[in-house]
Structure 1
Amino acid sequence: MTDSVKVSVLSDYPCELGEGPSYDHRSDALFWFDIVNRKLLEHKFASGETLVHDLPWMASAIASVDDERQLIVSENGFHLRDRKSGKLSLYLALDEERENTRSNDARVHPSGAFWVSIMGKEDGAVKGSIHWMREGELRPLFDGILIPNSICFSPDGSTAYFADTQAQKLWRVPCDSQTGLPRAEPQVFVDGKEADGGIDGAVVGSDGTLWNARWGGSRIDAYSADGALIRSIAMPAAQISCPAFIGRDAGKLAATSAWKGLDEEGRAKDRLAGQTFLLDLPVKGRLEPDVLI
């Protein structure tokens, strides 16, 4: 059973594949992507305006570096973005020899390490992987994941989570809180095969609650630190892709969605598909850490 929470439209821009929402406390703005259409979106809370920035490649995640720069993860690498001008410059290549892959889910560990995932441009076409990047060093962590998602971390950095949407499993793995590197093999945290929708993007709050978007399930699920489902929030679009904490106190949730794969009839039925939503639900979130480069 899902809880009834007021959900409003934060941005009505219809992303074919809305993903990677990340709140930037320096500018009080939410950034996210329309991956397949090569767009970076920026919603300014002070004015309520949503800006759409064109990109030269598919990209899926963004993190803060400092007051002047952000770091974007794309299909061919990590790119620095100048906050004032929007100018992009390659920082580190990522799997650039594979033209049939792109970046997908990613998040910054409390240590400043960036966990990023790679998958096929066509869902499930090739096996994907998860990598660790910090201060210019790149290491492979896990492979054989068809659709890697749900990368997020416990507040103290001692636990990492990730999922394979295709396999309908969400794992957790002990981490070194100082480096963000795994210390043991992953163990199943949630087996979602019996539930509607696929395990997609996730974020963990300051209280340890994991908020998970259910692609195709029209909801966001919340799990306690021991893996118990504690609530489900009904959403006004079927393909909810990823939640993010927003506000300088990280006290609210926003969520992206997608119309990818829907025909004309499907889009008519799911008329808010691809839009980005604000949940009228107080949460104990936390701000994203800066990535170390």
Structure 2
Amino acid sequence: MTSTAPSAALVVDGGYELAEGGRWVDGRYVYVDILSGRLFELPDEGDGNGPTCLARLDVPLGAVAPVHGRPGTWIAAVDTGIALLTPDGALEWLDRPEDRTPVPSRMNDGVADPAGRFWAGSMAYDVTPGAGSLYRTDPDGTVVRVLDGLTIANGPAFTADGTTMYLADTAVGTVLRCRVDPVSGDLVGGPETFARLRDGEGSPDGMTVDQEGCLWIALWGAGAVRRYHPDGRLLHTLSVPAPHPTSVCLHPDGNRLFVTTARHGVTNPTANSGSVLGIPVPTRGTAACSWQGRF
């Protein structure tokens, strides 16, 4: 089933180059503009003044997750590695694994899982095939490379029990499904292909799992969002008024879908390119999990 979204509302007209990583955190919508290194928050009810910029870095900021027990501190997929982003905007590095890669690379999307680990992907600046990786940051601060051979690792998304992770390789149009041991964080067996996008269907970007266990995927280049059943059936395709949607976030209470979009890479941007959109939907999401770092 496919439908347009005439009721899509412009939530933030930010003129962002590459808005991404939308998450619901403590009653507010949090997202980044990757290439400008900025982190934003938008309160649920809002005060009419638009989003607040929480941090402005001089390196690309791929995604963040809240840190348990440290209000205002985030674990971040940033520049070439994983760092803690403190309330004063400083970075406390845990590791910079992409400094050790053969081609210039950066971190991309990331998310915390229900067990309190942080997962984040990487990509080469020139999109070298197979140069991207997926990393896991454990509560003790250890950063582990979990998968390699990816090109643009994007949109890690977990089921509520933490035993299933979905991962997009945007450049090759594939969504992988991985079984995860919730105790150790290790993958159980190899990744399996959950969905494969054909030419003309767009490329899978940011993802989220709703309260019914279905997977929502932003389709870069197609101006659309898809919802899949856990058994792989395509349930719904929702058209959005911007060609490059980048991430999806479902309100935990309000039956509303937030979609970030990009101007980067758009030949003919629309008025909504580089914005945040809000669309009524008949399902809900879950709040973002925290990284359970032990200090």
Question: What TM-score do you get using the length of structure 1 for normalisation?
Answer: 0.90
What CA distance in whole angstroms lies between the structure 2 residues aligned with 1:15 and 1:210?
25
Please tell me the residue identity of whatever aligns with 2:36: N
**Correspondence for 1:287:** 287
- In 2: Cα distance, 1:234 partner to 1:4 partner: 5
Aligned residue-pair number: 284
Q: Which moved more, 1:119-128 or 1:215-224?
A: 119-128
Check conservation: 2:77, 2:109, Cα contact below 8 A.
no
* Counterpart in the other structure of 2:90: 88
Amino acid at match of 1:222: R
In structure 2, distance between residues paired with 1:179 and 1:15:
38
Distance (Å, rounded) in 2 between the aligned partners of 1:75 and 1:280: 34
Match of 2:112 among 108, 115, 123: 108
Residues 15-53 of structure 1 show CA distances to partners (whole Å, capped at 9, x for unaligned) of 11111111211xx22221111122222222331421234
1:43 — aligned with what?
42
Distance 1:250 1:140 in 2: 36
Separation of aligned partners in 1, 2:84 and 2:254: 25
Which residue of the partner structure matches residue 272 of structure 1?
272
* CA–CA separation in structure 1 for the residues paired with 2:237 and 2:2: 5
Separation (CA, whole Å) in 2 of partners of 1:129 and 1:73 = 12
Question: Could you tell me which residue of structure 2 aligns to residue 205 of structure 1?
Answer: 210
Q: Write the distance in 2 (CA, Å) between the matches of 1:94 and 1:155.
A: 29
Matched AA of 1:31: V
In terms of mean alpha carbon deviation, does 2-11 or 118-127 score higher? 118-127
What SS class does the counterpart of residue 171 from structure 2 fall into? coil
The 5-angstrom pairing of residues 124-273 of structure 1 reads 124=128, 127-135=131-139, 136-247=141-252, 249=253, 251-263=255-267, 266-267=268-269, 270-273=270-273
Whole-Å Cα distance in 2 between the matches of residues 250 and 144 of structure 1? 39
Once the two structures are superposed, residues 207-239 of structure 1 have per-residue CA deviations (whole angstroms, 9 ceiling, x without a partner) of: 111000000111100000011100011101010
CA drift of 1:282 comes to: 3.3
3-state SS in 2 of match to 1:166? helix
What one-letter code is carried by the residue in structure 1 that aligns with 2:41?
E
One-letter amino acid matched to 1:104: N
RMSD: 1.9
Gaps of 5+ in 2: none
In the alignment, the residues of structure 1 paired with residue 24 and residue 88 of structure 2 have an alpha-carbon distance, to the nearest angstrom, of: 17
User: Structure 1 residue 96: deviation in Å?
Assistant: 5.0
Instruction: Structure 1: give runs of 5+ residues left out of the alignment.
Output: none
Q: What is the CA–CA distance in structure 1 between the aligned matches of 2:159 and 2:33, rounded to whole Å?
A: 27
- Give SS of 2:83's match: strand
Q: Work out the CA distance in 2 between the residues paired with 1:170 and 1:15.
A: 26
Identity of aligned residues (%): 25
Deviates more, 1:199-208 or 1:94-103: 94-103
Q: TM-score, normalised by structure 2?
A: 0.90
Higher mean displacement: 190-199 or 274-283:
190-199
The alpha carbon displacement at 1:115 in A equals 1.0
- Identify the residue that residue 8 of structure 2 maps to in structure 1: 7
Q: Is the 8 A contact 1:35 1:60 kept in 2?
A: yes
Q: Residue 181 of structure 2 aligns to which amino acid in structure 1? A: D
Deviation at 1:118, TM superposition (A): 1.0
Q: Deviations over 1:177-206 (max 9, x none)?
A: 233321110111001125521111101112
CA shift, 1:170, in A, is: 0.8
Residue type of the partner of 2:56? D
SS of the equivalent of 2:97 reads coil
Equivalent residues of 1:20, 1:62 under 8 A apart: yes
Q: 1:258-285, CA deviations, whole angstroms, 9 ceiling, x for partnerless residues?
A: 011234xx12xx2211111111113231
